[in-house]
């Protein structure tokens, strides 16, 4: 019997490792996302963790648009809520708790960020199908995975799977210590 190894989710206790000044210098959310996130967009930050990218996305929206900060763990979402409380981002960011096997949002989005989290998803086919259903025609998804968790071959297989779901590769941005791909949903 071939048992699939259950992916390990980064625990809330490690949230500080995900949101710090050293990481901000190496993986600056504004630099990474500026070419893709524009004012007025609705953006899904799936697997948002403590909101390292969430607040950067909100900043790029420049007061117009919406960020959906989605995570499986309530503790991570609590950290996002605490981070944005009383800030100008509070009205731009919606907190959403994912189910164990689905993201669970119905709102259509212009852009999806999945940063260092796809390797934690047990059923990637179902996950990618859900991303496709959430994304507006012509919308984009940026998937970034850590090199220390995802081998090049695994990443290429993942990209091939996305192509079968009517995504096309737009470009693969360079992100420190990561493998990255930007995919666009074919307009229909």
Does residue 128 lie within any of the structural domains? yes
Q: What is the CATH number of the domain that holds 122?
A: 3.40.50.150
- Mean pLDDT, residues 71-85: 94
Does residue 38 lie within any of the structural domains? yes
Tokens of 37: 């996130």
Does residue 9 lie within any of the structural domains? no
- Residue 70, classed as helix, strand or coil, is strand
CA distance 73 to 69: 11
Mean of the per-residue pLDDT values for the chain?
87
Does residue 14 lie within any of the structural domains? no
Does residue 123 lie within any of the structural domains? yes
Tokens of 94: 């919606």
pLDDT of 19: 64
Does residue 22 lie within any of the structural domains? no
Strand partners, 182: 142, 171
CA distance 144 to 17: 17
pTM of the model: 0.89
Whether residue 167 is predicted with pLDDT greater than 90 in this model: the reply is no
pLDDT of 20: 56
pLDDT of 27: 81
Give the number of domains in the chain: 1
Does residue 63 lie within any of the structural domains? yes
Strand partners, 113: 45, 142
Does residue 16 lie within any of the structural domains? no
Quote the domain boundaries for residue 69.
28-185
Its sign, for the CA torsion 28, 29, 33, 34, is negative
């Amino acid at each position: 019997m071939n048992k699939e190894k259950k992916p390990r989710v980064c625990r809330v206790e490690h949230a500080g490792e995900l949101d710090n000044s050293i990481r901000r210098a190496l993986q600056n959310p504004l630099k990474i996302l500026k070419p893709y996130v524009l004012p007025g967009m609705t953006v899904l930050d799936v697997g948002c963790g403590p909101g390292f990218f969430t607040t950067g996305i909100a900043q790029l929206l420049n007061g117009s648009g919406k960020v959906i900060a989605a995570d499986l763990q309530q503790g991570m979402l609590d950290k996002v809520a605490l981070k944005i409380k009383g800030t100008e981002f509070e009205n731009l960011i919606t907190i959403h708790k994912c189910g164990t096997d689905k993201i669970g949002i119905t709102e259509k989005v212009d852009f999806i960020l999945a940063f260092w989290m796809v390797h934690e998803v047990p059923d990637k086919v179902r996950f990618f199908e859900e991303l496709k259903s959430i994304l507006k025609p012509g919308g984009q998804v940026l998937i970034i995975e850590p090199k220390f968790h995802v081998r090049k071959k695994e990443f290429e297989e993942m990209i091939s799977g996305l192509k079968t779901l009517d995504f096309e590769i737009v470009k693969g941005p360079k992100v420190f210590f990561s493998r990255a791909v930007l995919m666009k949903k074919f307009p229909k």
